């Protein structure tokens, strides 16, 4: 009998930790980030949509959610049912090509429609443009590596609230602190329950942040 010791497998995280990691991954899925920021600007921020009637706020939120989450998510579901992709989790670079391309169309349309409405505040338009640029960045980076979509989403979230902290929108920086906490939870969760490397997580985070910065400069 061979006496060569077996290679020890890396210990898995406890079940509770993995369950929490899955929870944060789903709650802060990148498709939901635009809707979360929109809801913040509509119902929490006192300046962005001041004077807008409640029913119009609801309409804007539904429009953003529909264009940036529901339609892209449904498109991925159809691709899965048509056998164009193996899994809705998009585990390989090849599987992500078409969904990214579809998402670019929907995210551009969301920004374009609201950009042509003159009563929308600049931070809202900046974030939508940054979200579109983030999808474009994810598509290009996917050529060389399977960058984390979650990290791109929370990277944009963190930079958006950092920019808010430099204006009268959030002089205390409280919301930026919450954004950094969320980003840390999500990125850690992806390291626990996904096959992403630290490099892919960091790359995604900084790509998402850079796209928000570019959006502010471009508009």
Instruction: Tell me the domain boundaries of the chain.
Output: 29-218
What pLDDT sits at residue 171? Answer: 63
Per-residue confidence at 89, pLDDT binned at 50, 70, 90?
Answer: confident
Contact 65, 93 (CB under 8 A): no
Phi and psi at residue 44, to the nearest 5°: -110, -50
Q: What pTM does this model have?
A: 0.89
Assigned token pair, 213 = 């910065």
What pLDDT sits at residue 5? Answer: 45
Contact 151, 200 (CB under 8 A): yes
The single-letter DSSP state of residue 70 is: I
Assigned token pair, 1 = 């009998």
Average pLDDT of the residues in 89-96 = 88
Q: What is the pLDDT of residues 24-46, one digit of tens each?
A: 999 999 999 999 999 999 999 88
93 CB neighbour count, 10 Å cutoff: 14
Average pLDDT of the residues in 110-138 = 94
Per-residue confidence at 14, pLDDT binned at 50, 70, 90?
Answer: confident
What pLDDT sits at residue 11? Answer: 53
Place of tokens 């898995």: 12
Residue 6 pLDDT greater than 50, yes or no = no
């Amino acid at each position: 009998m061979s006496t060569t010791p077996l290679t020890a497998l890396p210990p898995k995280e406890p079940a509770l930790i993995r369950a929490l990691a899955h929870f944060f991954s789903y709650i802060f899925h990148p498709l939901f980030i635009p809707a979360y920021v929109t809801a913040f600007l509509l119902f929490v921020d006192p300046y962005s949509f001041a004077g807008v009637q409640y029913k119009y706020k609801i309409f804007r939120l539904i429009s953003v959610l529909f264009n940036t989450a529901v339609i892209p998510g449904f498109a991925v579901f159809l691709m899965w049912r048509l056998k164009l992709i193996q899994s809705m989790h998009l585990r390989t670079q090849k599987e992500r090509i078409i969904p990214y391309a579809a998402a670019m169309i929907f995210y551009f349309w969301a920004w374009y429609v609201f950009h042509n409405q003159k009563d929308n505040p600049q931070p809202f338009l900046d974030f939508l443009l940054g979200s579109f640029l983030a999808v474009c960045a994810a598509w290009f980076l996917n050529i060389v590596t399977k960058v984390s979509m979650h990290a791109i989403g929370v990277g944009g979230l963190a930079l958006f609230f950092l920019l808010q902290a430099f204006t009268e929108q959030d002089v205390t920086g409280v919301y930026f602190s919450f954004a950094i906490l969320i980003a840390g939870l999500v990125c850690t969760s992806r390291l626990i329950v996904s096959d992403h490397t630290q490099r892919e997580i960091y790359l995604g985070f900084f790509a998402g942040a850079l796209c928000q910065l570019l959006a502010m400069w471009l508009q």
